[in-house]
Structure 1
Amino acid sequence: MDACFSRQDSTNSKGASKRSRSPSPSPSPKPSSQNKEGSLRRSTTTDRNGLFEPLSGSTSRLNGNPIMFSNSTGVVKPPPIEKQLECTLEDLCYGCTEKIKIKRDVITESGQRVEHKEMLSINVEPGWKKGTKITFEGMGNEVTRLYAADVTFVIAEKQHPVFGRDGDDLELTIEIPLVKALTGCCLPIPLLGGEKMELKIDEIIHPGYEKIITGQGMPTTKEAASRGNLKVRFLINFPTELTDEQRATAVRILGDSSS
């Protein structure tokens, strides 16, 4: 039977139950991840559409036939079980703790298969990118009492309604009217944490124009205190119609601007 997964509501790491398994190093299981930088944590409350029953204690299902995974050389460790862990940009920027319930098969001394429920705890570090893997060794289904599959979670980024991500940088597109693009403006710029900052632009905003706000991107995993940049791009809204007088004024003011 494949291991089953569902996210559990969480508040902080101190509230984890005694059966909770955390990605911090431990003799058994021994979870690990590709990135270790960062320290800030915040909790999230998620549920995978209620597909899994609430965790109310261990349940068991007996089966007299042991499950074997073998080849010509004997019993070997089964392949890891991989599951996606979807995170928002806020989760990956500030860090969070995800608690996930799993159901797995455990083989008893008599060869019976017993279904156990356990809780895994993942501390998502600031700056993690999609594709980051967190592995809990030996926390998958057992095929013998000595061999159990690993459980690996792969970070996936949820699409953000405002920002895009390019490595350690964030990207933002702002719509502005043509008159502001030509005459300069001061714009309120949203930041990922919910704050806003004023951005003053004196240059003419032309197609391809980009403004860089340093230090307002994602945390970098190489340097704990370092962050990428916020790249602001502009979508210029042109008027759909002009009066004859407006056309004449535009020609008089701009003339042949290409010369």
Structure 2
Amino acid sequence: MALRLQWEAFEKHANHSSPNIVSAKKSRVKSKDKHHLQVDLERDVHETEGLISPRVSVPRLSRTASTGFLPKGSVFHVNPTRNNSTILYSDVNGLRKPPDTVKRLECTLEDLCFGCIKKVYIKRDIVTDDGQVIQQDEVLTINVKPGWKKGTKITFEGKGNQTSPTCIADVMFVIDEKRHPVFKRNGDDLEVAIELPLVDALTGCTVTIPFLGGQESRLTIDDDVINPGYTKTIEGEGMCLLKEQGKRGNLNIKFSVKFPQNLSEEQRSECFNILQDSC
């Protein structure tokens, strides 16, 4: 009963104190749940299906422990100076906590631009009040904020293995950015590469520009000669800004020029006559 009460008190505090930790509910996950995969936390966590991250297992540690669950004087509090609003744990008895379990959480550019919900299922060791070590399933929900970057850290305090009644490890996820097939991130801006044939680069053209999220736009260039490295910027189509809600960075379009591999003598002569006085 003491173990259950401690868990309920912790979960109530976590759900009301941290916007990044939407919930941390105890849950016995059915092995036949088609929406979740079992992945050992010894490996990194990658996106698999929609917004649901796979089930993970915290590395198991000590199989023996003293009685009790949390020490007297244990305090849960929020550190307002940390951007991810991590719930922090302190032990006034001065006992050293086990090191954090740190793992990557891979996100797409779309996840980091528009935000999403990721759920991670963990299995960890818990010390009961009679000194037994049992395994417990639990769901951790991460609210990925629009504008988060690679390296953003999300810490779940006290959600790692329990090695003794007073020592509980943390679980930390570090955001990693999955390589995008079209866009490249540069701070709050996005870059996209467009290749044009030489004739279009010289005479002008209209090209289709993709936007992150699946939209497209038509861009006409008829007043410039496009050379390799030529750049056009579309404002407000980059990444969402974390600290400025509703605003976005820019989309920089970088052009490259595809030259013909072969020209006949007649074509060479015509090109020479046309271009000899253009520079």
Q: Does the alignment reach a TM-score above 0.5?
A: yes
How does 1:180-199 map onto structure 2 within 5 Å? 180-199=200-219
Structure 1, residues 162-208: CA drift from partner, whole Å, max 9, x if none?
11101111110011100111111110111111111011112111122
Query: For the residues of structure 2 that align with 1:51 and 1:77, how far apart are their CA atoms?
Result: 25
Give the direction of change, closer, same or farther, for the CA distance of 1:74–1:97 in structure 2 (3 Å limit): closer
How does 1:199-238 map onto structure 2 within 5 Å? 199-202=219-222, 203-238=224-259
Equivalent in 85, 98, 103 of residue 118 of structure 2 = 98
Q: Which has the higher contact order (CA 8 A, sep 6+)?
A: 1
Q: Is the 8 A contact 1:32 1:136 kept in 2?
A: no
Query: For the residues of structure 1 that align with 2:247 and 2:240, how far apart are their CA atoms?
Result: 6
TM-score normalized with structure 2 length = 0.69
> Which amino acid in the other structure matches residue 207 of structure 1?
P
Alignment of 1:251 onto 2:272? yes
Gaps of 5+ in 1: 1-20, 34-44, 56-61, 68-72
**How many angstroms does 1:31 deviate by?**
5.4
Q: Is the 8 A contact 2:65 2:127 kept in 1?
A: no
Aligned position for 1:37: none
Query: For the residues of structure 2 that align with 1:235 and 1:47, how far apart are their CA atoms?
Result: 43
SS in 2 for 1:236: strand
SS in 1 for 2:13: coil
Number of residues paired by the alignment? Answer: 212
**How many angstroms does 1:144 deviate by?**
2.1
Gaps of 5+ in 2: 1-7, 21-33, 41-53, 56-61, 68-92
**How many angstroms does 1:63 deviate by?**
4.3
Aligned position for 2:13: 27
Dislocated runs of 4+, deviation >6 Å: none
Structure 1, residues 124-177: CA drift from partner, whole Å, max 9, x if none?
111111101111111111122232111111110111111110111111001110
Query: For the residues of structure 1 that align with 2:171 and 2:108, how far apart are their CA atoms?
Result: 22
SS in 2 for 1:233: strand
Alignment of 1:140 onto 2:160? yes
Aligned position for 1:7: none
Equivalent in 117, 140, 146 of residue 120 of structure 1 = 140
> Which amino acid in the other structure matches residue 98 of structure 2?
P
**How many angstroms does 1:244 deviate by?**
1.5
Equivalent in 263, 266, 271 of residue 242 of structure 1 = 263
Percent identity reads 51
Aligned position for 2:46: none
TM-score normalized with structure 1 length = 0.74
